[in-house]
Amino acid sequence: MPLLLAFCGCEQEEVDSRVVLPENLVVSLNKQENGQVQIAFTAEKANFFRVSFGTEGEMPELVSGNQASFRYTEPGVFTIRVQAHATEIDFISEETSVTISEADLGLGIPDSGFSSPESYEGYSLSWQDEFEGTTLSDDWVAEIGDGCPNLCGWGNNELQFYRRENAGVNDGYLLITAKEESMGGRNYTSARLKTQGRQQFRFGRIDIRAALPKGQGIWPAFWMLGESITRTPWPACGEIDIMEMIGGAADGRDNTVHGTLHWDTQGTYTTASGKTSLGENAIFNDRFHVFSIIWTDETITWLLDNEAYHEIPITGDAMDEFREPFFLLINLAVGGNWPGNPDASTNFPQQLVVDYVRVFEKE
């Protein structure tokens, strides 16, 4: 009896050692929009699969079924590894690489669009920023935080925490990037720049050439506040919104921009606005456009690609704040009362690209 047991034990060990490895592992890759990659795989005799997408420090993770997806947030070349397992330690593997470009992430810079002239008859160029070099000029101040404690959510229930690091200058462009990341108790970061205390303007023409981001809850803006805001609270200081876009896939969102005034009328908040939209199937993310105002002591006129689409008279004592100096602001907000919050359709990061800002004074 002891001899029989010994024989059976050896036989069982021999059977256990004959692990059958999977065969014919086939991997296919589908690169989708905004950094999304889907990978499908099959193998004969596989009990389960593990997949890694080639990011730093990542280990192959167990997946359910025969496909997996991943969204990259940084450009680069990544090696995707698929393992078809018989047991945890017995497997075959296949590797494939994927290149993620800035364009794949929605961060590419368009190579076409409208450009405005560097001079206009009857005007002289008084100030400009072409965003050359590698750093912002001293004319810009970065605002930091979420507006708290005095103006939490920046007065609009916005969701982002502003950081200096989200604004950069590269290849002749100002790049403001909104990211889905936690900081300061907020789930998103972005940047907001202003010329307050550095440059102020009163009347003239302002041109801003830019390519806008897109998506639900994305809110880029070029605007102005009265230099008197430190002593005259909003809205009595006046606000001129040169361009705002509330992002989203629906018609009238990613393809529409707004020009607005905010002011005080004898203690009552007052606002007036106009808007314009692009043609069929076009959005402001596709190419560069020039957003402008022509500001006189009588009217403010809004233009898109040098075509006027809205005008508001500013004569009379009730709107005298618009005959005082203003400073510029550029920001990319996430969420808020007007655009609403991001949803499952919103991809991050999002990028606002500014080619130049030019201010002309009447001669």
Query: Same fold for the domain at 19-100 and the one at 123-362?
Result: no
The CATH code belonging to domain 19-100 is 2.60.40.10
Domain boundaries, the chain: 19-100, 123-362
- What is the chain's length? 363
pLDDT at 107: 79
* pLDDT tens digits in sequence order for the chain, 363 residues long: 444 444 444 554 554 568 999 999 999 999 987 788 999 999 999 999 999 999 998 999 999 999 999 988 888 999 999 999 999 999 999 999 999 988 788 778 999 999 999 999 999 999 999 999 999 999 999 999 999 999 999 999 999 999 999 999 999 999 999 999 999 999 999 999 999 999 999 999 999 999 999 999 999 999 999 999 999 999 999 999 999 999 998 999 999 999 999 999 999 999 999 999 998 889 999 999 999 999 999 999 999 999 999 999 999 899 999 999 999 999 999 999 999 999 988 988 899 999 999 999 999
Assign a CATH topology to domain 123-362. Answer: Jelly Rolls (2.60.120)
Q: Which of 56, 132, 180, 244 is catalytic?
A: 244
**Active-site residue among 33, 102, 227, 239?**
239
In the residue annotation, 95 being an active-site residue is answered as no
| pTM: predicted TM-score of the whole model, two decimal places | 0.81
3-state secondary structure labels for all residues of the chain: CHHHHHHHHHHHHHHHHCCCCCEEEEEEEEECHHHEEEEEEEEECCCEEEEECCCCCCCCEEECCCEEEEECCCCEEEEEEEEEECCCCCEEEEEEEEEECCCCCCCCCCCCECCCCCCCCCEEEEEEECCCCCCCCCCCEEECECCCCCCHHHHCCCCEEECHHHEEEECCEEEEEEEEEEECCEEEEECEEECCCCCCECCEEEEEEEECCCCCCEEEEEEEEEHHHHCCCCCCCCEEEEEECCCCCCCCCCCEEEEEEEEEECCEEEEEEEEEECCCCCCCCCCEEEEEEEECCCEEEEEECCEEEEEEECCCHHHHHHHCCEEEEEEEEECCCCCCCCCCCCCCCEEEEEEEEEEEEEC
The pLDDT, as a whole number, for residue 47 is: 97
In the residue annotation, 244 being an active-site residue is answered as: yes
Cβ-in-10-Å burial (0-12, 13-18, 19+) of 109 comes to middle
